[in-house]
Amino acid sequence: MLKATPLLDDLAREPARAAGLSRESRSALLSRCAAILAALSALDEPPPDDHTAAGGLAEPERLLTVPEVAELLGFARGYVYELLRRGDIRALHHGKHWRGRPAAVAEFIRSYEGRGEAARSVSSMLGRITDRSPSATSAPVPRAPAGQGATRHVTR
């Protein structure tokens, strides 16, 4: 019997329930949290010409590090670096450092949501496997008669 993933409100009331969640459930909840965080952050963004009294500029949005993005998405850090290099997640790159906006992570989630249907994924993977296997109509590989193979026997 499958356990239903608890709602975010349930986990807020009972944080101890998070310990019993599967990796898939944690990943799903983190993805939802990233989308909510990005949506709420976008609401708080001041207009581009908004200036504060302190320094003349509005406080910048906190940028996420690669490990933080990896945790939010439930991906390995190396895969997040690949996504950043390919431009799948928009980010700032300076030297060896990458930083991304929560809104960019949420946009990545929105753009790929619903693409990972299990039936379609499995059938496409199986299709690629059978494409690589030799067909039943291909000619058999000729074998050398016994004693004429590539192995040599050395006598001393």
Residue 108 covered by a domain = yes
Per residue in 63-87, pLDDT (tens digit) is: 999 999 999 999 999 999 999 999 9
Total domains in the chain come to 1
Q: What's the sign of the alpha-carbon dihedral 72, 74, 78, 81?
A: negative
Choice between 154 and 40, residue whose per-residue pLDDT is larger: 40
Query: Is residue 138 over pLDDT 60?
Result: no
Query: Is residue 149 over pLDDT 60?
Result: no
Residue 109: which domain range? Answer: 8-46+58-115
Q: Which residue in 36, 30, 32, 35 sits closest to 68, CA to CA?
A: 30
Residue 25 covered by a domain = yes
Residue 96 covered by a domain = yes
Residue 124 covered by a domain = no
Residue 78 covered by a domain = yes
Residue 40 covered by a domain = yes
Tell me, what's the pLDDT at 8?
Answer: 76
Tell me, what's the pLDDT at 10?
Answer: 80
Query: Is residue 116 over pLDDT 70?
Result: no
Choice between 1 and 55, residue whose per-residue pLDDT is larger: 55
Q: Is the pTM of this model over 0.85?
A: no
Query: Is residue 115 over pLDDT 80?
Result: no
Q: Mean pLDDT over all residues of the chain? A: 74
With cut-offs at 50, 70 and 90, classify the pLDDT of residue 60: confident
The most confident of 21-30, 52-61, 140-149, by mean pLDDT: 21-30
Per residue in 117-130, pLDDT (tens digit) is: 554 555 555 665 55
Residue 143 covered by a domain = no
Per residue in 9-28, pLDDT (tens digit) is: 787 788 788 888 888 877 77
